[in-house]
Structure 1
């Protein structure tokens, strides 16, 4: 067990925020491209798709991902550790939620219960909200001094 702890990759707080931004930005981009593909392949109405995707984006970003960003940024900034495990940009609960969302997304796509255009609209909004959370993490890493001032207790 000591070897596991000894060889665990550790990074500084700034780098941890950068990694969170890359992970969330990539995940958001992938979900967004899946949604765009669904709408394009199934000849959806782009105006309606963008409008409904915008509503999904607003709901997820305002009520979930912006709060998640603040929670984890505050936790990372206020940690007493100098260096953190490279995977600790989330806590266990957040990893569980993320795994559940991925699982649910795969099930919804493969069962085919919903019209792919509607799934595409939802994925466009969700993907953009995830991507924006990634951008916030990236900006907090780039402007680390300001981030420390803003989120320090």
Structure 2
């Protein structure tokens, strides 16, 4: 093993065409967890529903445009660049992607446990963030489905 390389010889391998599906499932689980905290916290504590929804929509747009859409594009480009057909099942993210996900989880847990923000604010933040994460899910899953349809059409001809 060369310096700086991670040995993945014994890691589970799947065909790279399934990596967008796996990424969509992982982001789906994460977004469900975030939304299951965000929506109830926002709804149970809101006094101005339209303002909460508007702010959540702004948060969604910002995280979608500057984080999750870019993340989706970056990781699809990485997946498409793999030369081998069978690759590590965890390769839908790079190391940086896993570090970012771990930091987001840690930050969310710390933010909730310190009680520095009222629940309605956390709910609005988590709701906007959760729906932005769903946009990545939609991107990964729609890419997988579209490619499966194309593959079947190609095989039929």
**Which TM-score applies when normalising by structure 1?**
0.88
1:102 aligned onto 2:119: no
Aligned to 2:18: 15
4+ residue runs over 3 A deviation = 4-7
**Which TM-score applies when normalising by structure 2?**
0.86
- Tell me the SS of whatever aligns to 2:14: strand
Alignment of 1:72-151 (within 5 A): 72-144=75-147
Q: Within 2, Cα distance between the matches of 1:128 and 1:53?
A: 9
Aligned to 1:64: 67
- The correspondence for 1:38, drawn from 26, 29, 41, is 41
- Tell me the SS of whatever aligns to 2:139: helix
1:48 to partner: Cα distance: 1.3
Alignment of 1:43-58 (within 5 A): 43-58=46-61
8 Å CA contact retained: 1:25, 1:132: no
1:145 to partner: Cα distance: 6.5
- What is the aligned length? 146
